[in-house]
Amino acid sequence: MNSRIGRIIGILIMGALAVGAVLSLQMQPPAVQPASTVMRPVTDSAGRVVQIPVRPQRVIVLNPSSLDLFYAAGGKVVGRPTTQALPDTVKTAVAAVPEVGTTANPNVEKLIALEPDLVLGVNVPPHHQLVPVLEKAGIPILLQMLDNYQQILDTLRFYGELTGRPEQSAAVIKEIEDDYRRRMANRGSQPAPEVLLVWGSTTSFQMATSNSFAGDLLRRLGAHNMADSKAGLSAKMSSVPLSLEYVSKSNPDVILLITHSSDTKVGEKFRAELAGHPAWQGLKAVSNNRVHQLPYHLFAVNPGTRVGEAVAVLERLVYPEAAR
């Protein structure tokens, strides 16, 4: 009898322990996944919806502008583009980081070998070609654009989310915007000059519109970009072929040249064409010595955090009185 009672009590105790264990498990909070494995959907500049880590740990950046902005937001990378178009502070910070090729020609084998959990690219054909290869390897790639001032601020804010340092990116944004407002205030009520903005290479010249980065800054400064009035211009075109007849008719006050490389031959070729063509000699910009080549590192690529420097250069050339 006593043994039966003992067995019953033992069974009851074991059952109580089992129930307690189940309740304990139910009351335990679920395991927290690291932010690097939690995914979020992001729509990139190509209109693709991409699942990326909330807090990526192994990021590769394929263009200098985004690399500059990512570091400004407190980020670190495991791979970077081959380029010299970086601020000195970023050059120093990434000196030991492996290169993965130029922006125009990234090395896909190097990209995959570095095992990134996110690649930040550009909405350009060479990076579109990377998409199927990287997707097959399970590597998300965002194709972004930095075509205007606002996109710089938006990208900084986004990178602050990725790095988990929104307050750091917000501080950089505030600094950029404060400087921008001071520049705008300097201009005052001066009349808007007529500006010709030229994209140049050794093979061709194009007139840049306000859809280009430099054109967007010119518009913000209140200057009139003569390419915007060209007949047949669509809403999204960032450039149109250079027409000597159109330029001669519009007679710009200022001519600004952006070269696709730091090679001085492009600027020399452009000035030689100016000197050798009668239609150009009567232009106000030429006769008043207001033909200028813009700094490569600020205008051939998006200047990123150095956008204030780019605005200052344009202000000095377009509104020389206000810049003094």
pLDDT in tens, 134-147: 999 999 999 999 99
257-305: per-residue pLDDT in tens?
Answer: 998 766 666 667 777 766 667 777 788 998 899 989 899 889 988 899 9
- What distance, in Å, lies between the first and last C-alpha atoms of the chain? 108
Tell me the average pLDDT across 228-237: 74
- Tell me what percent of the residues of the chain surpass a pLDDT of 90: 60
Q: What is the 3-state secondary structure (H, E, C) of the chain?
A: CHHHHHHHHHHHHHHHHHHHHHHHHHHCCCCCCCCCCCEEEEECCCCCEEEEECCCCCEEECCHHHHHHHHHCCCCCCEECCCCCCCHHHHHHCCCCCECECCCCECHHHHHHCCCCEEEEECCHHHHCCHHHHHHCCCCEEEECCCCHHHHHHHHHHHHHHHCCHHHHHHHHHHHHHHHHHHHHHHCCCCCCEEEEEEECCCCEEEECCCCHHHHHHHHCCCEEHHHHCCCCCCCCCEEECCHHHHHHHCCCEEEEEECCCCHHHHHHHHHHHHHCHHHHCCHHHHCCCEEECCHHHHCCCCHHHHHHHHHHHHHHHCHHHHC
Per-residue pLDDT, 215:
94
Locus of tokens 């205030």:
185
CB contact set of 224 (below 8 Å; sequence gap of 6+)? 192, 193, 194, 195
- 245: confidence class by pLDDT, cuts 50, 70, 90: confident
Residue with tokens 């996109």: 151
Please give the Cα distance from 130 to 116 (Å, whole number). 14
Q: Average pLDDT for residues 129-156, to the nearest whole number?
A: 96
66-110 per-position pLDDT tens digit: 999 999 999 999 999 999 889 999 999 999 999 999 999 999 999
CA distances from 215 to 7, 237, 256 (A): 88, 11, 11
- Token pair of 129 as six digits: 């070609």
Report the pLDDT value the prediction gives residue 266, as an integer from 0 to 100.
Answer: 67
Query: Is 247 within 8 Å of 237 (Cβ atoms)?
Result: no
Q: Which band of pLDDT confidence, cut at 50, 70 and 90, is reported for residue 64?
A: very high
Band of pLDDT at residue 312, cut at 50, 70 and 90: very high
pLDDT tier for residue 208 given thresholds of 50, 70 and 90: very high
pLDDT number for residue 194:
94
Tokens linked to 183: 């520049």
Tell whether the model's pLDDT for residue 167 goes beyond 80.
Answer: yes
Summary mean pLDDT of the chain: 85
Query: Is residue 12's pLDDT more than 70?
Result: no
Name the band, by pLDDT with cuts 50, 70 and 90, for residue 233. Answer: low
Residue 10 has pLDDT above 60, yes or no: no
